[in-house]
Amino acid sequence: MPLLTHKFDVEQYQQMGKAGIFHPESRLELIEGDIIPMTPIGLRHSTTINRLNQFFVQALKGRGIVSIQNSIRLQDYSEPQPDIAILSPREDFYASKFPQAEDVLLLIEVADSSLKYDRITKLSLYAEYGISEYWIVNLERDILELYRQPQNKSYLKQTLIDTSAIPFAAIDFPDIIMTLKDIFG
């Protein structure tokens, strides 16, 4: 007999949160109708997010909203919480609705224990919804994986930045030049 499952939509997921079904300290995200527990955030993971946050807030100067570990809504069955989302600027800072795929300029996941999940599940999801640029900060190897040009559930262009001297920039911000030192210190 097949295992019966129930897929939740984003409204049901939000209602469960409001009703207190989830523990307040729970780290969860909705991926294709499934409620997925997220791995705990370690010190190096947290430090890397803080470093990237400071870099982008200073560099963007209002040209984008730096959103840290907040939800983005991808249609009816997915509400992931990327480590960093650079969003198109809005006067209301998305007070009227969750950001959606078309609002995202860059998504970044900082990965140590979540590396496989971020490379397979998250990459596929972000590409499917047309997120134009996705970065994985690989803490296992101290490298940056850049994914661009989404097509179906993958990205046509994949680049590894593995040397601290190689400069790079996000597609939407070609004037903001970074190196791995900006990420890893």
The tens digit of pLDDT for each residue in 16-31 reads 999 999 888 889 999 9
Beta bridge partners of 87: 65, 104
- Asked whether 86 and 72 are in contact (CB, 8 A), the reply is no
pLDDT at 44 over 90: yes
Q: What is the pTM of this model?
A: 0.93
Taking the domains of the chain in order of start, what are their residue ranges?
Answer: 41-184
Query: Residue 156 class from Cβ within 10 Å (0-12 exposed, 13-18 middle, 19+ buried)?
Result: exposed
Domain 41-184 architecture: Alpha-Beta Complex (3.90)
Per residue in 85-143, pLDDT tens?
Answer: 999 999 999 999 999 999 999 999 999 999 999 999 999 999 999 999 999 999 999 99
